[in-house]
Structure 1
Amino acid sequence: MAGAPTDIERIMAPDAVAVVGASTDETKRGHQAIVTLQEGGYEGDIYPVNPNAEEIRGLDVYPAVSAIPGRVDLALIVTPAHIVPSVLEDCAETDLAGAVVIAVGFSEAGENGEQLEAEIVSLAREHGIRLIGPNTSGMINVHRGLNLVGADTVPEGSLALLCQSGNMAISLFTEAATREGVGFSHYVGVGNEADLQFHEYLPFLDADPETDAIVCYVEGMSDGRAFLQAARDIVPETPIVVLKSGRSDVGKRSASSHTGSLAGDAAVTDAVLEQAGVVSVERSDELLSVANALSSLPRADSPNVGILADGGGHATLAADACSERGLSIPRLTDQTQERLQAVLPDAASVVNPVDVAGGTDNDQSVFVDCAAAIIADPNVDALMLTGLFGGYGVRFAEQYTDVEIEAARELASLAADHDTPLVVQSAYEGFDTEPHAVLREQGIPVVESLDVATASLSALATYGDRVAVADQSSDFQLPAATTDDTLADTIGNGRTQLSEFEAKRALADDGFPVTPFDLATSADEAAALAADIDGPVAMKVVSPDIVHKSDAGGVALNVGLDAAAATYEDLCSAAAEYDPDASLDGVLISPMRDAGVELIIGVVDDDQFGPVVMCGLGGVFVEVLEDIAFRALPLTEADARAMLDDIEAQELLDGARGNPPVDRDAVVDLLVAVSTFVQANPSVTELDLNPVFADADGVEIVDAAITLDEQPQQHTKNEDTESAAPSQGETDD
């Protein structure tokens, strides 16, 4: 809704809180919330609300929020779901900024719950109140002692957590409580996102001096595109790390085209988040470690990692783990190797990974000498120290502990002086040794898992890369509604699927490089059209009801002139047998083309992020290969090039087996043109160009399918990032 922005600071850092549903019963949430606020150090005003009580824990109790004499910023509503509407009605004349609705029984509970949720959102908007939840575990401002969750193991720190699962939040709180140097500034259980949504918290957290990184556990976003817009603006200063659940094949939605069937939830989410500069992780045990690394370490300028290990096994496993994450293990310069040889025994490996081969057993300060040489190497932009560091005093002799402590100080100072990220993986991380404490005090992560250490380094490289090109990437702003949608008339005729002929004609009219084509409606016409083409032809049935023509036996290739008429009849018969009810428009006639590299380029309207472009290896086995990349519209040239770089089969694009490389500029131009076409035609919900032949001379669209939405998308939902709910004091008319 247009208007002044929500005063979210009054919600996230309130000076006065009302507990609606306050209770004298010590077992009730309405009593425990007051205890937590009082004992947690909250210095703001606390107003218990209960019409049947007069005093709770020394506090005056009020019969309603409207009866409270002072200004209230935030209400914690712990009443049953059906009471919430009356509570919001009571707040009509107050200056309440927001409410945390704990209760379940809303949209997650079925149709009746959906109606109740719509009712409370309507009331909140009418009265200028923003809602957290419902179906939320609450919120916490750790540094202010504002704990509306009741969790008593939330360590203070610099990570803000936005989470859609109360149990997941408790798991992360517990994990952080067992680790030094990891803690939280804020927690919000976003719940059903009925009103306040993920993206609306980001600007506040970005500006918050206590927050250095934002952590998100996401099951689904109500407005993913608004999240992309907000994230893009803040990630250069405040990194965001997202763990998205529902990554299995079960989560993939069905669709009529290849593009739709390949647009798995996780694949799209990871790609568009990366496009916005957000770091995605796939495992829960990586989430806090990656966020902590991003919050405390400098960005990596490249994926080039130096590995320093005190054993061959750790060296090899670290190199494998880095390679699997797409990190590079560059060879060290001759000068660096000479420096290492001067301090290490002859058995040491000094090429990268560096294996000290016992050179640190009696003097752990040698780690510092080695690290200094590696960090100074021009080929290295990040360092992993892996093995036993910090545990020599435990494993061998207590006297080594003091040496390791001093080495830890020097390692941290070395990394800071060179502005180089350093991650330490140690088998003794769980022993909470003093050398590890020294490292953590200086912001150096120490982890036990080699996979987690590698994930942190990968995130630093990815984050650095994305921030470096942030101004060249999409702003995710879609155009306003257009009246120039040339395809919308088809919807008016009751059809949502264009035939291949119609799709190609629309694209050709827009200047796309489409293989020459014409439509035959009889066997004789097919023969005549084939006669006008020099060489054999490709023939395909044209039906808006048959998208995958090969499955229907509706494709014939390398057809000679003499066989064109008979092939026409055969194709029509095969189509009729495949789907007797299918409408048949005729047979498309096109000249045969050499394949080149077969690509698929398409667009699908993702439920969370809106229109998304796909590019990858195409052909009939596209679903089997699944070598594809995604980006959200509108696509920039930099986005399109990044998509091509994401395709795993780079050898094909670069010219395998002596073939010339694909004209990447032509592919990029086509991707950008597809983005522009879909923006101009918001009725398009899926577009499928498969195959697109790409070679050294350019690109050519061989097959095309276009699916239209019964209600054309208007592309107005995310023209800006203003809230969909009213700001304080506004009403939604």
Structure 2
Amino acid sequence: MADRSTDIDRIMDPDSVAIVGASTDETKRGYQAIETLQEGGYEGDIYPVNPSADEIRGLEVYSTVSAIPGRVDLALIVTPAPIVPQILEDCADTDLAGAVVIAVGFGEAGEDGQELEDEIVSLAREHGIRLIGPNTSGLINVHRSLNLVGADTVPEGNLALLCQSGNMAISLFTEAATRAGVGFSHYVGVGNEADLQFHEYLSFFDDDPETDAIVCYVEGMSDGRAFLEQARDVTTDTPIVVLKSGRSDVGKRSASSHTGSLAGDAAVTDAVLEQAGVVSVERSDELLSVANALSSLPSADGENVAILADGGGHATLAADALAERGLAIPQLTDETQDNLQDVLPDAASVVNPVDVAGGTDEDQSVFVDCAEAMLADPNVDALMLSGLFGGYGIRFAEQYTDVEIEVADDLADLAAEHEKPLVVQSAYEGFDTDPHAVLRENGIPVVESLDVATASLEALATYGERVAAATESSDFQVIGTTDTAETISDALASGRTQLSEFESKQALSEADLPITPFELATSPDDARDAAASVDGPVAMKIVSPDIVHKSDAGGVALEVSTEAASDTYDDLLAAAHDYDPDSQIDGVLISPMADAGVELIVGVVDDEQFGPVIMCGLGGVFVEVLEDVAFRALPLTEADARGLLEDIDAQELFDGARGNPPVDRDAVVDLLVSVSEFVEANPSVSELDLNPVFATEDGVEVVDAAITLESDGTARVDGEAPISRGTTDD
């Protein structure tokens, strides 16, 4: 096999490009690609390839890539899919670094297409060629005028764009072209990720001097684990902003456990991306603005945002929008308020949000006085200017535009002096006014949407803490290759993938997790004897690998006395038989009643993109109603576990609501780390439910447990690099 360690610099920044499938027909991609390169100013060598032509746009045409006399860095292949294998075969001895495969009809088109995709990947690997695509819109290096997409207007800037939709790419190019100050260094249509994948581009852009932030539109990842691992390293220097499509409930996959049904695509994706230091956005209009803010402004030291508005409506709505995102609207110091009162009308509000109450209508320099006081306030980490700035020359008199230009310069200087981010939201953003141009030239974002402005401020306010947490987070390496729990090995050997509660607790007990004491009764007499050995009433639960949710089957009895244990045993078996006549009944589990506490659920699900993911939140029978849960990718560090616990909304329950004692948080953290270690040591575990787990001031107790296995689970890793099940790793 040829060496595949070629630096992708030759692909992303090529000195020569072959257009395979070049055409004399001006309506064909093979002609338009050459035209775009020539008219766009690409200074590298262009080699048209077509066995039936001699000259195209003044360039000599070659019959094959191997016939080209010079070294070719990159090939743009615009032929139909069935011809691609032969083209790659022809490139065997050409030192070609990479190929952009435009054609559709590969893995996205069904079984036959997947076979064709596998074939071209095999050929590429054999000949040391890296592939972009197939099913890609192309590649752009804006600073080199290399445009293999054909998009008309791609403004130059500092954002690298990775996209799985050609239409979304065009939309983002168009948005950037109509918004001064936002532009691109590179664009890659990643397509099917048959060879080059998301994480490999991250590494390149992190080292690219022309790129200050990476923007991703993602529909799915071939290797989500590798993305997390690479992103964790990249985000310490280069922000990554991701818009993941498919966030609706329709995208939730069906699963047998509570954890599976709660692990919706959006919830898991947002959590694990944050764990790696990545910023997620929910709307397409936030994507470029948030990335632009992160690339041009300093991160805020905290989440305290001051609002300076030229109207009460904007002030109130801005405060609401920031509060909804969890940002604080701090009280300004007395000194700041005094300074504001000195320059504003008596009717102005100076408590934050600050409403100038018409104080800037005739003298826009008041904005500078207010901003200076607010940015100097030690309670303020960031400033938002909201309302109509930049439009005073349109609203009132043209000469005000000159004043606003000076104000814009002064505002930018103040933000730089205080090293605090300033974001401007203006209803006149779409008018492309000179004051706005001055702000943007100085790296100050100007947006029209209040939601987009607050999304940018949220990212700026949380980014430093997010990246710091990521450095203490998991390395996302799941090392285990062989199950260590004997119970799990025995179940797989017998062809079973669903453990009963008894077996699940056995496996967890072997790993020293805090399980309530338990005993399996296989007769009414056993049940009575087991209950008699417990000081106090017991809980009795049916044991069956076929009945996961025992309460739904009437298979749970609580507060059972020793005297009632025998009859209860018979009742539980009868209820289980009525629920599922064909179910295998192994007996009844007897346990002492657990101490009441905060009911939690701790679970693990094997996400198809990101591999094993742990969940923790409020548990019990209403877990799927409340949905107060949080996620992290495994394995967990202690910092991950603490962050996971802090992400649960109902913090007041942990702190001791309504006079109850606070929960032992350290014990919960220890449990989460122990579960992580258990799953890492037993790669056949595909789902795990601990529900409920009772957390008290004295510790935690796992009351119920269910484990689902995957017979080929030991394929989760190859001993080195982590992969998600169902993917390959080379």
Q: Per-residue deviation at 1:468?
A: 2.3
Amino acid at match of 1:584: I
- 5 Å-filtered alignment, 1:86-485, equals 86-482=86-482, 484-485=484-485
Deviation at 1:348, TM superposition (A): 1.4
Structure 2: any 5+ residue segments left out of the alignment? 724-728
For residues 214 and 717 of structure 1, what CA distance do their matches in structure 2 show? 29
Deviation at 1:37, TM superposition (A): 0.6
- Cα distance in structure 1, aligned partners of 2:3 and 2:108: 30
Superposed CA deviations along residues 11-42 of structure 1, whole A, max 9, x for unmatched, are: 00011100000001111100000000101111
* Matched AA of 1:298: P
- Counterpart residue type for residue 431 of structure 1: F
Q: How many Å apart are 1:312 and its aligned residue?
A: 1.1
TM-score, scaled to structure 2: 0.97
Is the CA contact 2:476–2:722 (under 8 Å) kept in the aligned structure 1? no
Deviation readout 1:432-480 (Å, 9 max, x if unpaired): 1111110000000000000000000011122121122332111111215
Within 2, Cα distance between the matches of 1:360 and 1:698? 59
Q: Distance in 2 between matches of 1:720 and 1:3?
A: 19
* Structure 1 counterpart of 2:6: 6
**Are 1:540 and 1:588, in contact at CA under 8 Å, matched by a contact in 2?**
yes
| 1:718–1:147 CA distance, 2 compared to 1 (3 A) | farther
- The CA deviation at 1:714 is 3.8
Using the aligned pairs only, state the percent identity. Answer: 80
In structure 2, C-alpha distance between the alignment counterparts of 1:94 and 1:492, rounded to whole Å: 51
Alpha-carbon contact 2:176-2:183 (below 8 Å) kept: yes
Q: Does 1:45 align with 2:33?
A: no
- Structure 1 residue 301 displacement after superposition: 1.5
* Corresponding letter in the other structure for 2:663: V
Q: Aligned Cα RMSD in Å?
A: 1.5
**C-alpha separation between the residues in 2 aligned to 1:2 and 1:81?**
23
Tell me, in whole angstroms, the C-alpha distance in 2 between the residues paired with 1:195 and 1:420: 42
- What is aligned with 1:499? 500
Flag structure 1 segments of 5+ consecutive residues without an equivalent.
723-731
Which residue of the partner structure matches residue 693 of structure 1?
A: 694
Q: CA deviation at 1:3?
A: 7.1
Q: For the Cα contact (< 8 Å) 1:692–1:699, is it kept in 2?
A: yes
Give CA-to-partner distance per residue, 1:368-424, whole Å, 9 cap, x none.
111111111111111101011111111112221111111110100100111101000
| Residue 671 of structure 2: aligned partner | 670
Distance, in Å, in 2 between the alignment partners of 1:130 and 1:462 is 37
Amino acid corresponding to residue 256 of structure 2 in structure 1: S
Question: Do the aligned residues in 2 keep the contact of 1:517 with 1:589 (CA within 8 Å)?
Answer: yes
* Aligned 8 A contact 2:42 2:144 in 1: yes
Paired residues of 1:225 and 1:718 also in contact (CA < 8 A): no
Aligned equivalents of 1:718 and 1:419: distance in 2? 46
Residue 715 of structure 1 deviates from its aligned partner by 4.0
Paired letter, 2:330: P
CA distance in 1, matches of 2:485, 2:250: 34
Report what 1:552 is aligned to. Answer: 553
Q: Give the total of aligned pairs.
A: 724
Aligned AA (1:380):
V
Q: Which amino acid aligns with 2:653?
A: L
8 Å CA contact 2:4–2:129 kept in 1: the answer is: no
Contact 2:611 2:633 in 1 (8 A): yes
Greater relative CO (CA pairs within 8 A, separation 6+): 1
How does 1:633-652 map onto structure 2 within 5 Å? 633-652=634-653
User: Contact (CA 8 Å) 1:279, 1:462: kept in 2 or not?
Assistant: no
1:713 alignment partner AA: T
Give the Å deviation of 1:594: 3.3
**CA–CA distance in structure 2, aligned partners of residues 539 and 268 of structure 1:** 34
Q: Which residue of 1 aligns with 2:726?
A: none
Cα distance, 1:422–1:721 mapped onto 2, change above 3 Å? farther
Residue 62 of structure 2 aligns with an amino acid whose one-letter code is Y
TM-score by length of 1: 0.97
Q: Which whole-Å CA distance do the structure 1 matches of 2:328 and 2:681 have between them?
A: 41
1:512 maps onto 2:508 in alignment: no
Task: For 1:12, give the aligned amino acid.
Answer: M
Confirm or deny that 1:619 pairs with 2:620: yes
- Please state how far the C-alpha of 1:508 moved relative to its aligned partner: 1.5
4+ long deviations beyond 4 Å: 1-4
Shift of 1:2: 12
Code of the residue aligned with 1:646 in structure 2: it is D
Give the partner amino acid of 1:404.
Answer: E
Say which SS state the counterpart of residue 550 (structure 1) adopts.
helix
Q: Go from structure 1 to structure 2 and tell me whether the alpha carbon gap of 1:682 and 1:235 turns closer, same or farther (over 3 Å shift).
A: same
Structure 1 residues 251 and 717, CA, compared in 2 at 3 Å: closer, same or farther? farther
1:699-728 Cα deviation digits (max 9, x unpaired): 110100111111123442583489xxxxxx
- Are the equivalent residues in 1 in contact too, given 2:485–2:507 (CA < 8 A)? no
1:729 aligned partner = none
State the match for 2:80 in structure 1. 80
Task: Tell me what 1:726 maps to.
Answer: none
Partner of 1:655: 656
| Distance change in 2, residues 1:576/1:302 (3 Å) | same
CA separation in 2, counterparts of 1:420 and 1:274?
Answer: 23
Deviations 1:179-210 (A, max 9, x none): 00001110000001111111011111111111
Range with greater deviation from structure 2 (488-497 or 465-474): 465-474
Question: 1:557 corresponds to which letter in structure 2?
Answer: L
CA distance in 1, matches of 2:6, 2:307: 48
The one-letter code matched in structure 2 to 1:651 is: E
Deviation at 1:484, TM superposition (A): 3.3
Q: AA paired with 2:120?
A: I
